C-alpha cells in the first residue's frame, strides 16, 4: 500500500448536508504515460473528523482502519476500502456498512478517477439501512434507504474544476431520491465532447512563469512529463533548461550576454528558433543561437558566430503581437531590407518551412496526446457504465425476488 501524504482536513457536518472539500493534493500517481494510477484506501463514511486524504486521491476517514480490521470489527460508520489491482485499471472496493450487531460487507469494483458503482445486494443484513447502497468514486452516489422506506441518497460529489477524468475535491451530501435518479440519468446520458474534454484538460494545467517573457506550462498529473521547476528557475543563468521533460542546452553561451526575448501564447518554447545575442566584446561580429534537435530528442541552442554582413540577413526585434511568420509572441524575426538575392530568399523560404514543420510536429504530438487521453476517458466510461449496468441488473434481480416473496 502507498505511503500516506496525510493531509488533514476538517469535516463539516450538518443535519442535511455534509461536505468534505479536499484541498489540492500532490499528484504523485503518474503512470507510464502520465495516467492516474489507482491506489490506496478509500473510506467513505458518515463523517468523522480527522479524515485524511491521501496523495493518490483516495480518502481515509478516521478512525483509520486496515482492511483486516474493517472486515472483523463492527463499526458505527460506513467504511470502504479500495484495494488497487495489478495494472492499476480498477480497484476492488470492500464496503462495510453498520447494520445493528452485524455489519454488512459489500464488494465491488471502482474505476480510478471515474464514476463507479458499488451496490450492495438487497438482503436481510441491509434491511436496517435499506435495500440499496451505491457508492461511487467520483461524481458519485452513496445511497441507502432509511427505515421509513423513503430513500435518502448520500452523494459523493466532486468539487473538481472539471467533471472529466481529473479532479480532486469530494463533497458528501444528502439528497433526495429524485435527485439521485436524475443524477443517474445524467451520468448515463452525458457524453463527453472531445473538444470539451481537451479544453477542460488544458484549463487545469497551471502555468509557471519564468520571469520576463518565458512561460512554461506545467503538466498536470495526467499529462506525462513533469516540469523540473528548480531547473527552469535557474536555467537562464546556467547551461541547461528542462521544460516538460525536454532539455534545452545553451551550449556555453554566457548568460549575461543572452537576451532571451522569447515567449509564446501556450507557454511552450515552440517556435524558439534563432536568437541574437548582444555580445559586447565583438563589435564586428554577432552570435546567432540556432535551434537544433538531437537524435534523442534533446533540443540544443547552438551559438553560431556570424560576420557583420551575415548579421544583416537577420534582424530580431521584440514586439507584442504574433508575427505573420508564426514566430511566438515576443519574438519577431524580420528579414532585413537587404535580402534581395535568390539565395537569401531561398534560405528564408527554407527557414519558414522548417519553422512550419517544427510547429506541425509539435501540434501532431499534442494532438496524439489528447487523442490518447480522450480514448482513455472513453475506456473508463465504458468500464463505469458496465459496472452500473451490472449493479442495475443486480438491483432488478433483488427487486424481483422481493416482489416474488411478497406475493407468496
Q: Which residues bind DNA (CB under 7 A)?
A: 33, 194-195, 198, 297, 322-326, 357-361, 363-368, 370-372
Q: Which is nearer to DNA, 185 or 361 (CB)?
A: 361
DSSP strands (E only) in 98-150: 104-110, 118-120, 133-135, 140-145
Q: Which is nearer to DNA, 10 or 32 (CB)?
A: 32
Q: Which helix (H) or strand (E) holds 390?
A: helix 342-407
Q: Which is nearer to DNA, 185 or 352 (CB)?
A: 352
Q: Which phi and psi angles does 82 have, rounded to 5°?
A: -100, 120
Place of cell 443535519: 15
Q: Which is nearer to DNA, 161 or 353 (CB)?
A: 353
Q: Which phi and psi angles does 68 have, rounded to 5°?
A: -65, -50
> Minimum distance between the CB of residue 345 and DNA, rounded to whole angstroms?
16
> Minimum distance between the CB of residue 297 and DNA, rounded to whole angstroms?
7
Q: Which is nearer to DNA, 304 or 357 (CB)?
A: 357
Query: How many Cβ atoms from other residues are within 10 Å of residue 150's Cβ?
Result: 10
Torsion sign, CA atoms 74, 175, 156, 378: positive
Q: Which is nearer to DNA, 31 or 63 (CB)?
A: 31
Q: Which is nearer to DNA, 196 or 400 (CB)?
A: 196
Distance CA 236, CA 214 (A): 10
HSE, CB side, 13 Å, CA atoms: give it for residue 177: 8
> Minimum distance between the CB of residue 296 and DNA, rounded to whole angstroms?
11
Please, which residues bridge with residue 303 across strands? 289
Distance CA 393, CA 386 (A): 10
Closest CA to 385 of 210, 189, 254: 189
Q: Which is nearer to DNA, 32 or 101 (CB)?
A: 32
C-alpha grid cell, residue 242:
528542462
> Minimum distance between the CB of residue 217 and DNA, rounded to whole angstroms?
13
> Minimum distance between the CB of residue 67 and DNA, rounded to whole angstroms?
31
HEC readout, 270-339: CCCCEEEECCCCCCCEEEEEEEEECCCCCEEEEEEEEEHHHHCCEEEECCCCCCCCCCCCCCEEEECCCC
C-alpha grid cell, residue 175:
439528497
> Minimum distance between the CB of residue 265 and DNA, rounded to whole angstroms?
7
Q: Which is nearer to DNA, 105 or 359 (CB)?
A: 359
> Minimum distance between the CB of residue 340 and DNA, rounded to whole angstroms?
20
Compute the C-alpha angle 52/168/141, nearest 5°: 85
> Minimum distance between the CB of residue 260 and DNA, rounded to whole angstroms?
20
The answer to whether the CB of 384 falls within 8 A of the CB of 114 is yes
> Minimum distance between the CB of residue 290 and DNA, rounded to whole angstroms?
16
Distance CA 294, CA 4 (A): 40
Amino acid at each position: 500500500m502507498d505511503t500516506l501524504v496525510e493531509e488533514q482536513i476538517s469535516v463539516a457536518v450538518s443535519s442535511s448536508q455534509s461536505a468534505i472539500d479536499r484541498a489540492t493534493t500532490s499528484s504523485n500517481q503518474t503512470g507510464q504515460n502520465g495516467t492516474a494510477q489507482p491506489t490506496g484506501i478509500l473510506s467513505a463514511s458518515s463523517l468523522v473528523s480527522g479524515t485524511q486524504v491521501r496523495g493518490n486521491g483516495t480518502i481515509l476517514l478516521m478512525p483509520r482502519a486496515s482492511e483486516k480490521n474493517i472486515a472483523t470489527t463492527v463499526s458505527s460508520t460506513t467504511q470502504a476500502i479500495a484495494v488497487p489491482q495489478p495494472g492499476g485499471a480498477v480497484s476492488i472496493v470492500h464496503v462495510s456498512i453498520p447494520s445493528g450487531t452485524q455489519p454488512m460487507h459489500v464488494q465491488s469494483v471502482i474505476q480510478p478517477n471515474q464514476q463507479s458503482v458499488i451496490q450492495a445486494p438487497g438482503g436481510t443484513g441491509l434491511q436496517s439501512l435499506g435495500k440499496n447502497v451505491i457508492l461511487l468514486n467520483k461524481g458519485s452516489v452513496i445511497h441507502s434507504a432509511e427505515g421509513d422506506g423513503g430513500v435518502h441518497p448520500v452523494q459523493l460529489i466532486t468539487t473538481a474544476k472539471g467533471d472529466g477524468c481529473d479532479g480532486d475535491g469530494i463533497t458528501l451530501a444528502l439528497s433526495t431520491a429524485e435527485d439521485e435518479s436524475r443524477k443517474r440519468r445524467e451520468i448515463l446520458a452525458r457524453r463527453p465532447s472531445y473538444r470539451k474534454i481537451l479544453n477542460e484538460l488544458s484549463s487545469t494545467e497551471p502555468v509557471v512563469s519564468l520571469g520576463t517573457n518565458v512561460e512554461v506550462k506545467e503538466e498536470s498529473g495526467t499529462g506525462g512529463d513533469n516540469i523540473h521547476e528548480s531547473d527552469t528557475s535557474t536555467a537562464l543563468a546556467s547551461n541547461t533548461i528542462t521544460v516538460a521533460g525536454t532539455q534545452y542546452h545553451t551550449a556555453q553561451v554566457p548568460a549575461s550576454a543572452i537576451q532571451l526575448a522569447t515567449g509564446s501564447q501556450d507557454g511552450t518554447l515552440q517556435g524558439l528558433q534563432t536568437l541574437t545575442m548582444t555580445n559586447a566584446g565583438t563589435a564586428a561580429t554577432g552570435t546567432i543561437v540556432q535551434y537544433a534537435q538531437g537524435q534523442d530528442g534533446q533540443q540544443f541552442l547552438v551559438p553560431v558566430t556570424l560576420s557583420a554582413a551575415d548579421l544583416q540577413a537577420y534582424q530580431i526585434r521584440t514586439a507584442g503581437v504574433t508575427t505573420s511568420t508564426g514566430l511566438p509572441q515576443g519574438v519577431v524575426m524580420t528579414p532585413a531590407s537587404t535580402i534581395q538575392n535568390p539565395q537569401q530568399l531561398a534560405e528564408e523560404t527554407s527557414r519558414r518551412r522548417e519553422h512550419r514543420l517544427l510547429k506541425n510536429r509539435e501540434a501532431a504530438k499534442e494532438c496524439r496526446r489528447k487523442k490518447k487521453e480522450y480514448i482513455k476517458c472513453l475506456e473508463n466510461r465504458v468500464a463505469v457504465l458496465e459496472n452500473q449496468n451490472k449493479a442495475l441488473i443486480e438491483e432488478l434481480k433483488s427487486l424481483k425476488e422481493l416482489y416474488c416473496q411478497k406475493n407468496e
